[in-house]
A and B are shown apart, each in its own frame.
Chain A
Amino acid sequence: MGRGKRIDPRPELPLFASSGKHELVAEHVTQTFLDENGSEVWALDDFSLTVSGSEIVGIIGPSGCGKSTFLRLVVGLDEPLSGALSFDGETINGPSVARSMVFQNANLFEWLTVEENIAFGLHATHTYDKGKYKIPRLIEMMGLGGFERAYPPQISGGMASRCALARSFVLNPSLICFDEPLSALDAFTRAALQDEILAMQTIAHTSMILVTHDIEEAVYLCDRVVVMTPRPGRTKGELTIDLPHPRDRVSPEFVNRRRQLLAMLDDSESVSV
């Protein structure tokens, strides 16, 4: 793979035990939700997606095209109106530690320290004693050393995002959904976090679904990018990005992929008009 530079410092106690052989299958998913006025909004229409192995799949599309709605279905926070979602052959009904999610703006618990935030999932699943050895190692890997006892309001946005990443990885998920996790960060921090995500993915062998507004981010991280139409969200097209990591953001191939994605997006918007 060779995506990142970080190596698990103590391989005898595995931080990640994912086999790397997972499959998320979403078939003909349709979803509606009620907006504030109580009227029904058609968010997703006949959307299908398969994510397998340690693959990073990006989903991009205009605002309100149902990207986040789809992630909520994948992690089991909502149930689809019709269609079927399954993970490793089992129908998804409700959340599971195998499918994790990194939220927008980190979404940490501000009454817990960085360390306690990372430990939350272990406590919640009553596996703290078994898994607590991971906490200092994740803190070290994520570059949060020295901030274990800090509360979320005291740390920077980039650190909060790292903490949110560590918080999802501690439960050893097979699939992580990212809901615009880096959208609130400045360009430098975002670039650093993107490398961090790739590095973690390399050693954790998780599948990832990345919802983003940032085309460059999608091209930089993903193996495959799905472009969606405006509401209701349908698959508009798909682009495989077979560039080797680390990717050069200004190489002609990279820029070419960006241009292709932009063209697909523009096209989808003109359809909706």
Chain B
Amino acid sequence: MAAALEKSLHERQRTAPTRKIEKRRLVSGREFVKMLLPVAAICIAYGATNGLPNVYPVDYVESYYPLFLLVMLGMYAACMAAACFMPKLRRYVVHYTYLIAAVFLLVEVLDVLTLKTGYLLLPFAPSPDRILEAVPKNLEAYASNLAASMMLLGEGVVIGLVTGFVTGLLMGWSKIANYWFAPLLKVIGPVPSAAWLPIAVVLMPSAHLAGVFLISVAIWFPLSLMLSGAIRSTDRRKIEAARVMGASEPYILFHVALPAAVPDIFTALFMGLSSSFGALIISEQLGVKAGLGWYINWASQWGEYYKVFASVGIFIIIFYVLINVLFKIRDHVMTWQKSVVRW
């Protein structure tokens, strides 16, 4: 008995316990049905928009929305086909299947509430078709305004980054710089850009520069605040270790204090980038005579709300992409942190 027990114990030790990870290459029936949900949703939307008569306005001819649904259906079908053979992609598709289906159903609900029944009133609630046609029908206007917005944002962000790094480093390292800059930072920083705008427009030679100023302040404030704080609170033992290894003060600043501050720098950049989007739109709506923010204002004054919705959609896409690019950069820079922090 005891011998048998010992033997079984021994055998269990020999075959080390392995975690069973199922790695099926091919899709299972259950997963396939789940992945079909968005297809069903798109088909319902397509059927509804083609089957129901347009009543508000009656003579409206849809152009882009059915086409859009078909393109989406094609893209999703391709994605799904690939997912059937790629387990990694399939995990994502199966995970998001309900969400994707819900999005198409919601868009169709909007279509029914506007174009098909007139339950929501024009011009404030345009149908999906109107929103979709805004961009291709006003391509030039959107392209030039988007370019103007991106130029403004780009200039502001670059200046904000440069000034933020310089003042942050100076304030973090030198007590004198901290004495002079910290009050300025504390007074100017928390004031929202909308409050600054009229003053900025008066003080700056052009509305464009006023916008650049507001956007750069939005980046500069969190960056210099967090960077100086992080540098001042660098682990003293790390600094001493570097000093013992013969590092000079500037070398310690750039090779110990600055890398140690990288997590805080990225937190500041996320905050700063978000508030710089706000500053961009406010300055375009209130001063600068170009850009998508200005276009939103202009279109709403003409009652063309479908253009407003389309512009907001473009903003959503661009801000989403920019924030995600920053996430990717952070993951790349902070490889060393991967095993420590996740957020």
Binding site for B on A (CB under 8 A): 75, 77, 95-97, 99-101, 103, 107, 109-113, 120-121, 123-125, 151-154, 167-168, 171
Contact = CB atoms under 8 A, between A and B. Distances in A.
A204 B244 CA distance: 19
B16 interface: no
A125 B243 contact: no
Contacts of B340: 110, 153
Given A107-B237, A109-B259, A171-B246, 16 more contacts: A95-B244, A96-B246, A97-B245, A97-B246, A107-B238, A107-B241, A109-B238, A109-B256, A109-B260, A111-B259, A112-B336, A123-B255, A124-B247, A125-B245, A125-B246, A153-B339
Contacts of B245: 97, 100, 120-121, 124-125, 167-168, 171
A121 B241 CA distance: 10
A134 to B, nearest CB: 14
A100 B244 contact: yes
B336 to A, nearest CB: 4
A63 to B, nearest CB: 18
B240 interface: yes
A154 B246 contact: no
B85 interface: no
Contacts of B244: 75, 77, 95, 99-101
Given A103-B237, A109-B256, A153-B340, A124 B242 contact: yes
Nearest to A77: B240
Find the residue from B237, B246, B247, B340 having the highest chain A CB count within 10 A: B246
Contacts of B247: 120-121, 124-125
Interface in B121-156: none
B241 A111 contact: no
Interface in B147-202: none
Contacts of B335: 151
B248 interface: yes
Nearest to B335: A151
B262 interface: yes
B251 interface: yes
A124 B240 contact: no
Interface string B250-262: 0100011001101
Nearest to B336: A151
Given A103-B237, A120-B245, A124-B248, A151 B255 contact: no
A211 B221 CA distance: 45
Given A75-B244, A123-B255, A125-B245, A111 B336 contact: yes
Contacts of A171: 245-246
A75 B237 CA distance: 13
Given A75-B244, A100-B245, A121-B246, A151 B259 contact: no
